[in-house]
Amino acid sequence: MIWFVQDFALLSVVLRALMLSLQTLLLGGILFLFLARPATAQAKILCRRWIARFALAFIVPQILYIVIDTAVLMGTSDLQLTDLMGADYFLAGMISILACVSVWLLMRGGCEGSEHKWNWMTLAAMLVSVYVLLATAVWTSHAVSRMDDRAILIPLTVVHQLAAAAWIGGLPFLLFALHGTEDVAKSQHLVRRFTPVAMGSAVALIASGVWMSVYYVGSWQAFYGTAYGVMLAVKAVLLCSLLVLGAMNFNIGRERKFSEWLLLHLRRFAEAEIAIGFTVLLAASSLTSQPPAVDLTADRLTAQEIVQRFTPQWPRFTSPPVSALSPATPLNEAIKYIDDPTHAALHQQDPDIAWSEYSHHWAGIILLVIGVGAMLSRYERLRWARAWPLGFIALAIFSFLRGDPENWPLGPNSFWQSFYDPEILMHRVYDVLFVFFALFEWGVETGRLKAKKYSYVFPVMLALGGAGLLLHNHALGNVKSELLIEMNHNCMGILAVLAGWGYWLEIRLPDGRARTVARRVWPIFLVLIGFCLLIYREA
């Protein structure tokens, strides 16, 4: 129960992210079938099979979301189940489940090894299902909840979600279809049919997003001075990286002498494009948990405050004595104060802040060494630098020994007692994972683990860790200190995502200029993460 109470906000965002991702895949697959029109029967069967799977998968997080929201509302109010069955989230969720069941039934006929023939009844049923899925998604969006400008915001939201589905949700189905198309000429023809769909969707996505921002943000100060605006900036940065990858694939598709080698490059860029695209969807899910910036008119950050906080200063390499810190919270009392701002303020005295900054700055030094080692290891003559993953063991040891002054070995709580606190338990688990992945990646770098599948573990975990930083917002309002910390964490999250999928490209791309660029660039993002930790400040 402790975990549930503490992390309900995060759990809610994760479930919304899963639902948005699966909805995007579901709609993207349907749009791909009708707009890109795969030429071979095998490609169509693969696409329909995956659409059916995504339709069933969508039902699971949707049911969990309804159950958890209902349980929390019933547990924190006098509302009964019969009262909540008429709520918007409940009705929208149940109707979307019925729509997914409908899509699954419609697609089953095309998944049995023969080309499925559509008639007007199945087309009409599919159109209704798509309409219902979109309608239920918009039903619980910011557009419907606003009192003003609904007539503009609702259609803009529909366009935005359809564009995301056609582009980001359609890309996996492009790969499925290419897998089911053996002829290179047919593959290029399929790519050229999908290209205008993706380009048009990108334009519609950006245009509708900018237009909605005018209503949800309202001013430049709201853009850089509120949690909503900051998450919007995260989406924009990741979208720019998507456009770069999309431009590469666009140029490949236009090549006159299309070959297997170019097709392989296109597939690899598409993999990274899909991964970053769904990270954007995670950021979008996190954005929906924030009130629109235009509604938060008090306590906005100013440009001067942002510049002052992020102006580099000499890092703290010494810590105050443990005796100068705030008294440790008894373990049996800790859970009571998870969301108590008054209690949190007691642990934001000068020595506590100095200790936190000291911990972050030493972690930054370790990350800088790791990043520089990764950069040097990409040169054949510097084989000794391939030991760079072992730096994560140093990070884990430092985090374990100096990360938390309230628990063993520095604080009054013993080693085993400290695990009672769920936050400390998470940190201990992360320390163990740091050691595991360090040894694992060291084995990959030095050739001790030779199977190629092992090399995918570290980049995927790095990218997922960055996505997790984007999901877990600390500032639900305009609490300035929390928002400034959130900006720093978001920067590290973006850099980790780019580093992870840049490393993925190094592994997946064939030898050539593109692979060389990837292997030279991604370690730079690790170095920048270290720099973000070095300039971290809480006051």
Query: Per-residue pLDDT tens for 446-464?
Result: 999 888 889 999 999 999 9
Percent of the chain with pLDDT over 90: 49
The pLDDT value given to residue 5 = 44
How far apart, in whole angstroms, are the C-alpha atoms of residue 174 and residue 36? 9
3 state DSSP class of 387: helix
Query: Is the dihedral angle over the CA atoms 455, 270, 248, 204 positive or is it negative?
Result: negative
Tell whether the model's pLDDT for residue 328 goes beyond 90.
Answer: no
Kindly give, in sequence order, each residue whose CB lies less than 8 Å from that of residue 485, ignoring residues fewer than 6 positions away: 474, 475, 536, 538
Instruction: State in Å, rounded, how far the first CA of the chain is from the last one.
Output: 34
- Are the CB atoms for 455 and 444 separated by under 8 Å? yes
Most confident residue range from 8-17, 294-303, 493-502: 493-502
- In the predicted model, is pLDDT for residue 298 greater than 90? no
Position 141 pLDDT exceeds 90: no
Q: Report the pLDDT value the prediction gives residue 377, as an integer from 0 to 100.
A: 94
Q: How confident is the model at residue 257 (pLDDT cuts 50, 70, 90)?
A: confident
Considering only residues 122 and 316, tell me which one the structure prediction assigns the higher pLDDT. Answer: 316
d(CA 40, CA 47): 11
Contact 156, 14 (CB under 8 A): no
User: Mean pLDDT over residues 17-44, rounded?
Assistant: 91
Residue 422 — very low, low, confident or very high, per pLDDT cuts 50/70/90?
low
Beta-carbon count within 10 A of 123 CB:
12
**Predicted local distance difference test score (pLDDT) of residue 2:** 42
Over residues 216-225, mean pLDDT = 90
**Dist CA 311 CA 534 (whole Å):** 11
Q: Which two tokens stand for residue 93?
A: 């969720």
Average pLDDT, integer, range 162-168: 95
Contact 168, 277 (CB under 8 A): yes
Q: How far apart are CA 57 and CA 252, in angstroms?
A: 33
Residue 413: phi and psi, rounded to 5, are: -80, 130
Q: What is the pLDDT of residue 534?
A: 94
pLDDT at residue 239 greater than cutoff 90: yes
pLDDT value at position 116? 52
Interatomic CA distance for residues 2 and 4, integer angstroms: 5
pLDDT band at 227 (very low <50, low <70, confident <90, very high): confident
- pLDDT at res. 279: 94
Q: pLDDT (tens digit, 9 = 90+) per residue, 329-345?
A: 655 554 444 444 444 44
What proportion of the chain, given as a percentage, has pLDDT over 70? 89
Using a 10 angstrom Cβ sphere, with 0-12 exposed, 13-18 middle and 19 or more buried, the burial of residue 261 is exposed
pLDDT, mean over the chain: 86
Look at residue 3 in the predicted model and tell me its pLDDT: 44
What is the tally of helices (H) and strands (E) in the chain? Answer: 22, 0
pLDDT tops 70 at residue 427: yes
Q: Which residue has the tokens 């063993």?
A: 408
